[in-house]
Amino acid sequence: FAFSQLSQLNQIMKPICLLGHMRSITQVRFNRDGDLIFTCAKDPHPSIWFALNGERLGSLVGHNGAVWCVDCRWDSKKVLTGSADNSAKLWDTETGKCVLSVDTNSAVRSCGFDFAGTSAMLTTDKTMGYKCTILLYDIRQDPAGQPACQMLVPESKITSAVWGPLSRFLITGHENGDLCQMDVRAQKVIRTEKHHKGAINDIRMYKDGTMFVTASKDHTARLIDSYELQLFKTYKTERPVNSADISPLRPHVLLGGGQEAQDVTTSGAHVGKFDAKFFHTVYEEEFARVKGHFGPINSVGFTPDGRGFVTGGEDGFVRLHSFDNDYFDFEFE
């Protein structure tokens, strides 16, 4: 099966390499306009970059541990981060100043602004004594550490979470592969579906919020609708999938993954053989790979205009790619 054409993308389109983190990348995100990139890693300082030329705007100083998650509000004015130092912080994008900080009982795994940008959701890890919890905060004023509401997740802990359409509920992915719709305010699980056999490492919404893609340890990524959690497409690979995103422009899905960090042998170190995989959304067929990372890819994302993509890896590198003309002309028959 030939995907020779697109796999030459590496040579044709030179990626911009953002070198700002000393440790593995945990998440990369764009703002809605696509001119800013937010990266966080296992080091305590998340960074903000200009997507145009890769110039760093600055870093957010304040956390004391690995930063697991980052989100930018729809108006690009505020940034939310969650850390292993048992806190989540709200920052001002322009100045980098921390305007709010809340402490939690355990590490914050996921965070996200709601549609309106007035609430923030956090999910925390299960650790000794503390169950996995979902916390909602009203950020229009200082909550002084008090969540507007919270919900305990008794069984399998949440490994990834996003807001559903119109932020009526949360869509959560769990360690055992479960996918749930959680109405935190009503404190109930609306719906549970088991489409995956392994932990769900990442959930990314499509641009209109009507469907999302899940990336799982079970070597697959799946396309699911937001309203009824109905499975529609499955994309299969040979390695655990750490992250996936849907192109806003073309019927393509991007997957990033690789072996567990400790399984990586040193043989391929100088070759950069970990690749980002492109699948056709409808036909579920892989058609291209882009190499470059020296370690597993932990987070991927298309640019909001679909003209490029960014990948962050275990190697600490963030690579920003722009597609060349062949990508836009490429058609399946």
Q: How far is the CB of 28 from another protein (least distance, A)?
A: 19
Beta strands at 252-257 and 158-163: parallel, antiparallel or unpaired: unpaired
CA angle 223, 227, 233 (to 5 degrees): 15
Contact stretch for another protein (CB under 8 A) within 86-94, 125-133, 208-216, 271-279: 208-216
* Residue 5 lies near another protein (rule: CB under 8 A): yes
**Tokens matching residue 12:** 């044709």
Q: What is the largest CA-CA distance in the chain?
A: 57
Nearer residue to another protein within complex by CB, 35 or 131: 35
Q: Which of residues 232-261 bind another protein (CB under 8 A)?
A: 232-233
For residue 333, state whether it binds another protein (rule: CB under 8 A).
yes
The neighbour count for residue 23, using CB atoms within 10 Å, is 14
According to DSSP, the β-strands at 119-124 and 132-138 are antiparallel
Residue range at the interface with another protein (CB under 8 A); choices 61-69, 122-130, 194-202, 207-215: 207-215
Site string for another protein, 275-304 (x = CB under 8 A): ------xxx---x----------------x
- Is 32 among the residues that bind another protein (CB under 8 A)? yes
Q: Does 4 bind another protein (CB under 8 A)?
A: yes
Binding residue (CB under 8 A) for another protein from 65, 165, 198, 272: 165
33 contributes a contact to another protein by CB under 8 A = yes
DSSP states of 136-174: EEE-SS--TT--SEEEEE-SSPEEEEEE-GGGSSEEEEE
Window contacting another protein (CB under 8 A); options: 23-31, 77-85, 165-173, 184-192:
165-173
Q: Using CA atoms, how far apart are residues 319 and 314, in angstroms rounded to an integer?
A: 12
Residue matched to tokens 């109405």? 183
Residue number, 4 or 266, with CB nearest to another protein: 4
Is 116 near another protein (CB under 8 A)? yes
Relative to beta strand 274-280, strand 252-257 is antiparallel
Kindly state the smallest distance separating residue 78's Cβ from another protein, in Å: 14
Which H or E element spans position 42? none
Site stretch for another protein (CB under 8 A), options 41-49, 101-109, 138-146, 223-231: 223-231
Q: Which two tokens stand for residue 2?
A: 């030939």
Q: Which of 94, 305, 324, 328 binds another protein (CB under 8 A)?
A: 305
d(CA 140, CA 114): 12
Q: How many helices (H) and strands (E) does the chain have?
A: 3, 28
Q: Per CB under 8 A, does 54 bind another protein?
A: no
117 near another protein (CB under 8 A) = yes
Contact letters for another protein, residues 120-159 (x by CB under 8 A): ----------------------------------------
**Which CA distances in Å does 135 have to 72, 103, 149, 171, 183?**
18, 11, 6, 14, 12
* Residue count, binding to another protein (CB under 8 A): 34
How many residues belong to the chain? Answer: 333
| Cβ count within 10 A of residue 148 | 14
Site residues (CB under 8 A) for another protein? 1-5, 32-34, 52-53, 74, 115-117, 165-167, 208-211, 225-227, 232-233, 281-283, 287, 304-305, 332-333
